[in-house]
Amino acid sequence: MEHTLSRSVIETDHKLESATTRASEELAKHRWHWMLDESNPKRVNFTDYAKAVGRSRETVSRYARGYALYLEKLETPPRGGAWSLQDAIRQADNSAERQEFNEAIAQGSGRAVGQVARGDNRVRTNEIIATAKERAERRGTDPVEEARRIAEHTRKSRESAQRGRERKAASRTLRYVEIEGDLAGAQRRLVHALSVAQDVGFSDEEMELIRDSVAKIRAVLDLIDLRMAGDPDIDWDAELAKLGES
């Protein structure tokens, strides 16, 4: 038996779609009710509904199927925890197999299942699924579980690398502070030496010793400059030995 949609049903669809959040529960529920809700004897098929409201069949069916999936997941929560309605709408375009993989990858990666289903970094997701299937065939295991493990390993590796970068940055900051402090202290002592050197009648021997110390200080400053530049071709132990610091 064929049914037609009343003007009020069509106007409600347009009104809800124009709301700030296009994937609102009200719009999805409205479309689900008029296309998939078995308790509604006046429901119509996807094509008739889309034609009546002037929207594509793909769009209206995605909302309706997404809401149906959302209701289903309220009864049987997906892997990785609770879903949002938008997650369900994005999942609705995928096959049952792909939905399982999306949930597993979301659980392992710590990302929202809607992001995975939407196709964020889609190439990587496809790679995970392909690798998971290959591993499962070789090991006789569940490909969906293999996908979760791969995503989890990738996430942990990424987090470990980030922690390594953070430790390196923290170490660099501490070394910078230490070096800056040493140089500032050396500058203060040299300025003090400059101030007390005025009008002093040093002997030739004393002047020779002072000049030798100044030369070594210059050499140390040159070495610091080279080390900061990352020069790899210097035997630092030998250079320090020349300065009597080994």
Instruction: Give me the number of domains the chain comprises.
Output: 2
pLDDT given for residue 42 in this prediction: 93
Distance CA 66, CA 73 (A): 10
Distance CA 1, CA 23 (A): 30
Statement: residue 25 has pLDDT above 70: yes
Classify residue 152: in a domain, yes or no.
no
Statement: residue 20 has pLDDT above 60: no
| Identity of the amino acid at 104 | A
Which run of H or E residues covers position 111? none
Output the average pLDDT for the chain: 86
pLDDT given for residue 22 in this prediction: 54
Classify residue 57: in a domain, yes or no.
yes
Residue 63 domain boundaries: 1-92
Q: What band does 164 get if pLDDT is binned at 50, 70 and 90?
A: confident
Q: Single out the residue in 38, 63, 92 at which a domain terminates.
A: 92
Alpha carbon separation from 239 to 218, 223, 236 (Å, rounded): 13, 8, 5
Q: What band does 183 get if pLDDT is binned at 50, 70 and 90?
A: confident
Classify residue 236: in a domain, yes or no.
yes
Statement: residue 191 has pLDDT above 70: yes
Q: What band does 1 get if pLDDT is binned at 50, 70 and 90?
A: low
pLDDT given for residue 58 in this prediction: 92
Torsion of CA 88, 12, 22, 90, to 10 degrees: 20
Statement: residue 118 has pLDDT above 90: no
State phi, psi for 234 to the nearest 5 degrees: -120, 135
Model pLDDT for residues 134-163, shown as the tens digit of each residue: 999 999 999 999 999 999 999 999 898 888
Classify residue 4: in a domain, yes or no.
yes
Classify residue 210: in a domain, yes or no.
yes
Classify residue 25: in a domain, yes or no.
yes
pLDDT given for residue 229 in this prediction: 81
Distance CA 60, CA 55 (A): 7
Classify residue 71: in a domain, yes or no.
yes
Statement: residue 184 has pLDDT above 60: yes
Q: Single out the residue in 92, 112, 136 at which a domain terminates.
A: 92
Statement: residue 82 has pLDDT above 70: no
Q: What band does 123 get if pLDDT is binned at 50, 70 and 90?
A: low
Q: What band does 90 get if pLDDT is binned at 50, 70 and 90?
A: confident
pLDDT given for residue 122 in this prediction: 61
Q: Single out the residue in 58, 74, 92 at which a domain terminates.
A: 92
Classify residue 114: in a domain, yes or no.
no
